Amino acid sequence: MNTTALTLCIAVLHLLGVFAAMHAVTRARTPQGAVGWALGLLLLPYVTLLPYLYLGSSRFFGYHVGHPAPTPEAIPEASATLTVEPACARFAAISALQRRPFRGSHQLQLLVDGEAAFEAMFSAMAAAEQCLLVQFFIIHDDMLGRRLQQILLQRAAAGVQVCVLFDGVGSHALPQRYLETLRAGGVAIHRFATHRWRNRFQLNFRNHRKIVVVDGTLGYVGGLNVGDEYLGLKPPLSPWRDTMLELRGPAVADLQKLFADDWQWITGQLPPLLPSPPGEGTASALIVAAGPADPLETGSLFFTAAIHAARERVWLSTPYFVPDNAVRSALQLAVLRGVDVRVLIPSRPDHRTVFLASTLHAHQALRAGIRMFRYQPGFLHQKALLIDHDCAAIGSMNLDSRSFRLNFEVSALVVDPEFADKVEAMLGEDFSRALAITDREYHDAPYLRRVAMHVARLFDPLL
């Protein structure tokens, strides 16, 4: 290539970098992201243009087009026959954000760790008679994945309509033969991918939801994916600490609707939807969905509103502690109100960069009076929130920007003193197996490791 052609190529790249930088400044969701992309695109476009094409978009286009912004008036009244806890009123902002009410009369079961959770889920799936909706971020072709495969094939052979979704990035290693076997057996299975042209090149957006609905009557949400590591069978992260929630009651219909939204985006059709009968319990529940197509930053707002509602305690369990300014401020204000704020995070990393950033955030949280703990026995993947004596949430949402802004997520927010007692006992056991973090963790770290923590934090918007 001669000098003139090389000069022209460089000039074109810099011109494209200018246009891309303007796009980044006007579209980025966070100031840090806007500044970082703009500087890179202006100064080094031949290095940053391609990554920006794949990672730079902050909005998932086309999904739920035409849905109005949430307002309190948009929330329908709950059925008079499904009495909800009066304490739900203090979470009215979250209900408004979701455009749906709390629903009453739920029976709940807390499923602690993989063996108990998969035993319950697989037994329920194997008993499906009409319809089975299954969605996971990760499905592996290993022992656990093949157990799931056999159950799905058996139900399809029995005439049950089986619909399965998995994330294209999270399940990138799932072999084609696994899918072909299921499809040949009558299972409808699809990869959730950014397949519309405006999202086509984006790798940042993931569907991180874990949803199982059996015959419209029984639903599951939580943190587990389908793989042997979630049973604690793969060192060095084993034993694996995680939690799922089983629901019976009217909120199962909201789980079905959420699955249907994702299914329709991919297939253009609705899956079978069955009525969800009232439960026979006393718990009130709200299905909280979040994603990058939302007009508001739903994930961050959910945590912020829940923490602001606390008057006695906020106990959090999360594998990734990378809070944004809103959630960090909410936690700090809770401490100033005299609320018992505790956060449980892993002692072992599964993603080094996130672990480094989390360590720095934990150090800064300590300085604000937030009590931080590291779970010792194995890797902590649990996403649990306990508010006061009567409210808890179990789901797929991590405390990081990826869950706040880039992933499709789901959690169940429950108002019920009895259920909160069970979550308190579970988290109390977890905290008893954890060590309190002190300032020494940061100050005793080698200098270069501390520098690495601060460098990792620069990538907060992508973690």
Which residues are catalytic, by number?
A: 208, 210, 215, 381, 383, 388
Q: In percent, how much of the chain has pLDDT > 90?
A: 72
Q: Are 400 and 461 in contact (CB under 8 A)?
A: no
Q: Is 241 exposed, middle or buried (0-12, 13-18, 19+ CB in 10 A)?
A: buried
Estimate the share of the chain in helix, then strand, then coil, as percent rounded to the nearest 5.
45, 20, 35
pLDDT at 430: 98
Q: Given pLDDT bands bounded at 50, 70 and 90, which one contains residue 30?
A: low
Q: Are 334 and 310 in contact (CB under 8 A)?
A: yes
pLDDT at 368: 95
Instruction: Assess whether the previous peptide bond of 236 is cis (omega < 30° from 0).
Output: yes
Q: What is the pLDDT of residues 414-463, one digit of tens each?
A: 999 999 999 999 999 999 999 999 999 999 999 999 999 999 888 777 66
Over 90: is that where the pLDDT of 238 sits?
yes
Site of tokens 């300032």: 439
Can you spell out the DSSP letters for 143-200? Answer: HHHHHHHHHHHHHHHTT-EEEEEEETTTTTT--HHHHHHHHHTT-EEEEE---STTTT
Q: Which one of 1.10.10.10, 3.30.70.890, 3.30.870.10, 3.90.320.10 gives the CATH number of domain 107-193+201-283?
A: 3.30.870.10
Q: What is the pLDDT of residues 192-235, one digit of tens each?
A: 976 555 454 556 789 999 999 999 999 999 999 999 999 999 99
**CA 163 – CA 186 distance, rounded (Å):** 10
What average pLDDT does the segment 348-362 reach? 94
Q: Given pLDDT bands bounded at 50, 70 and 90, which one contains residue 78?
A: very low
Q: Given pLDDT bands bounded at 50, 70 and 90, which one contains residue 26?
A: confident
pLDDT at 80: 37
Residue of 173, 234, 216, 242 lying closest to 380 (CA atoms): 242
**What is 298-462's CATH superfamily?**
Endonuclease Chain A (3.30.870.10)
Tokens standing for 279?
Answer: 């439960």
- Specify the higher pLDDT residue, 84 or 3: 84
**CA 29 – CA 57 distance, rounded (Å):** 9
What pTM value is reported for the model?
Answer: 0.89
pLDDT at 50: 72
What average pLDDT does the segment 20-41 reach? 73
pLDDT at 21: 73
Q: Are 125 and 134 in contact (CB under 8 A)?
A: yes
Say if strands 379-380 and 240-241 run parallel, antiparallel, or are unpaired.
parallel
- Distances from the Cα of 118 to the Cα of 158, 227, 255, 427, angstroms: 21, 11, 19, 20
pLDDT at 367: 95
State which amino acid sits at residue 127: A
- Specify the higher pLDDT residue, 412 or 61: 412
Delimiting residues of CATH 3.30.870.10 domain(s) in the chain: 107-193+201-283, 298-462
